[in-house]
Amino acid sequence: MRPASLSDWLAASLDKQGEEPVYRQLQRHLHEAILSHRLAAGSKLPSSRLLAQELGIARNTVTEVYAHLTVAGYVTSRSGSGTYVAATAPETLAGETPMSDGAVPAPGRALSVRGRRLVDGVGFAPTQWGAFMPGVPDVTEFPSRVWSRLSNRHWRRPAPSLLTYAPSGGHGPLRKVLAEHLRTSRGVRCQPEQIVITTGAHQAIDLAARLLADPGERVWIEEPSYWGIRSVLRSLGLELEARPADGEGMTLPSSVSGLPGGMSSTNSTNSVNGSHGSHGTNSETPPALILLTPSHQYPLGMVMSLARRRAWLDYARQHGSWIIEDDYDSEFRYGSRPLECLQGLDTAGRVIYVGSFSKTLFPGLRIGYVVVPDALVDAFAKGAAELYREGQLQQQAILADFIFEGHLSSHIRRMRGLYGQRRELLKEAVAQRFGNALPVSGDDAGLHLVVDLPPGSDDGAVARAALARGIAVRPLRPYYMNPSDRTGLLLGYACVPDAQIGPAFGILSEVIEPLINDPSTPPAMPTP
């Protein structure tokens, strides 16, 4: 197909009156045209403005579809030149005839069961920036000049030792300054040797799960919880069991006598097998791993009480379970000092402490860490080297200097004030528009808050309708492993300039407002 005829083909294919949203139809048709080679690699697509005019749809719709295709690797964008079809498949082998339209491809090996479980249901927003993307810091405020100066220092005469594979555990100077930083800021009890540098929290949890649990063993996770970590654990063949969180954090099994936070095992948990998706209740059997976010539960935001923390530590000690503590954004606490971590209370060596610099600095840095008990130091260092063959030592060296010179601490203090101000602006915008009709929670710490929608609302449809208007939010329901009646939105405020918070929430309000009187009302998509 010639790009010049693309508009005619799409106009004939789109059903603007159908149940499937126009942006989904457009995205699907372009996927098929590229993968079937109707649009050849290197073909230039019409501009978003021209295609929108020719199809009679909103330009934002075309822009969002082009953005999705770019992120997914179907097209590439060249500044000042336009959007081009990427090479998505190898060239035709010698002697083969290119597939014609409608031809059925030869059968090939499909995704594995594990692969399907990993990718099913995963839906990333086409943008990871702007109102109101949760979990994203304001990277425009990052002290890039300081970082550039430190980077130039190391690149002026790069040490050969920093341009090769990383030693076991990571760059020594970074582990040293990080140990001191964690001791003073988070109450972590550790020596530099107990720290293993990773490429983020996902890799740290992947490493811990691989070394400490075998396929088929049980893992307790919070309900709700971050689906990305669930994907990591499922891909390892582990059986996930969701335990509900109350106002004090994740609840303990009813078999725990004399400790707070126990719940009836008959209705408090559900499990999903990492390999087969079976359901059942196994809450009385001690798990191999327990994943907790005690300083700021994700996504609901409650803080685990001291009594509950001690109860979980005692449970892990008694039953030989490992606790993985994900301390993902605890530095940003408003109105009170950041709480000390669970690991600092552990006297039995059962806590694996995980953190990263994605929220405090910028996500693209891809540097995280795991702090392990003395008995596991050698295994984790060797395991990381064997599995991942780590590098990025130049980045680790720059970060070590950044921390040593005090820039990390000052940046966190400054951003805590900025984020706190934006949090208040967003809360005010919600209250002014909806009063008490939309409860707000989870706003005492972190980079987002949770807005509950009226019962019966479709938060996924609200998120899609908002995205079509240029507003990115996360629906709450996908964070639940099991069906939940609670419906709401995660609204991030960290990466939204002060002046944009009110207007952006005004746009989102147009999607939410019809639900106040009738939660079953389907959110309206923007008109062309």
Question: For the chain, where do the domains classified as CATH 3.90.1150.10 start and end?
Answer: 410-517
The architecture in CATH of the region 410-517 reads Alpha-Beta Complex (3.90)
37 vs 91: CA distance, rounded Å:
11
CA-CA distance, 240 to 219, in Å (whole number)? 5
3-state SS, residue 492: strand
| pLDDT score, position 104 | 53
Task: Annotate 164-218 with DSSP letters as a single string.
Answer: SPPPTTS-HHHHHHHHHHHHHHH-----GGGEEEESSHHHHHHHHHHHH--TT-E
Q: Which helix (H) or strand (E) holds 239?
A: strand 239-246
Q: Which DSSP helix (H) or strand (E) runs through 116? A: helix 113-119
What CATH code is assigned to 157-405?
Answer: 3.40.640.10
Nearest to 411 by CA among 219, 200, 146: 146
Domain with CATH 3.40.640.10 in the chain: 157-405
Tell me the C-alpha distance between 514 and 499, whole Å.
26
The alpha carbon of 112 is separated from its chain's Cα centroid by a whole number of angstroms, namely 24
Structure tokens at 252: 């303990």
Which residues touch 295 (CB under 8 Å, ≥6 apart)?
A: 303, 304, 327, 330, 338, 339, 341, 342, 445
Where the chain has pLDDT below 70, the residues are 1-4, 88-109, 120-127, 255-283, 338, 527-528
Token pair for 527: 């008109």
What span, in angstroms and rounded, lies between the C-alpha atoms of 140 and 494?
11
Q: Which residues contact 281 (CB under 8 A, 6 or more apart)?
A: 265, 266, 269, 270, 271
133-166 pLDDT, tens per residue? Answer: 998 999 999 999 999 999 999 999 989 889 888 8
Return d(Cα 7, Cα 52) in angstroms, integer.
9
In this predicted structure, what is the pLDDT of residue 2? 62
pLDDT digits (tens, 9 = 90+) for 236-289: 999 999 999 999 999 998 766 555 555 443 344 454 444 333 334 455 789 999
Q: Which CATH fold would you assign to the domain 3-92?
A: Arc Repressor Mutant, subunit A (1.10.10)
> Alpha-carbon distance 457 to 454, whole Å?
6
pLDDT in the model for residue 188: 95
Residue 377 has what pLDDT? 96
Q: What are φ and ψ of residue 174, in 5° steps?
A: -65, -45
b/e code 444-466 from CB counts within 10 Å (16+ = b)? bbbbbbbbbbbeebbbbbbbbbb
Q: What share of the chain is helix, strand, coil (3-state, %, to 5)?
A: 40, 15, 45
Q: CA 224 to CA 483: how far, in whole Å?
A: 10
Question: CB count, 10 Å around CB of 44?
Answer: 14
Structure tokens, 456: 């019966």
Residue 282, number of CB atoms within 10 A of its CB:
16
CA distance 317 to 286: 11
Rg (CA), the chain: 25
Burial environment of residue 325 by CB neighbours within 10 A (0 to 12, 13 to 18, 19 or more)? buried
pLDDT tens digits, 425-446: 999 999 999 999 999 998 888 8
List Cβ<8 Å contacts ≥24 apart for 414-418. Answer: 414/141, 415/137, 415/138, 415/141, 415/332, 415/360, 415/494, 416/331, 416/332, 416/333, 416/334, 418/138, 418/141
CATH 1.10.10.10 residue spans of the chain: 3-92
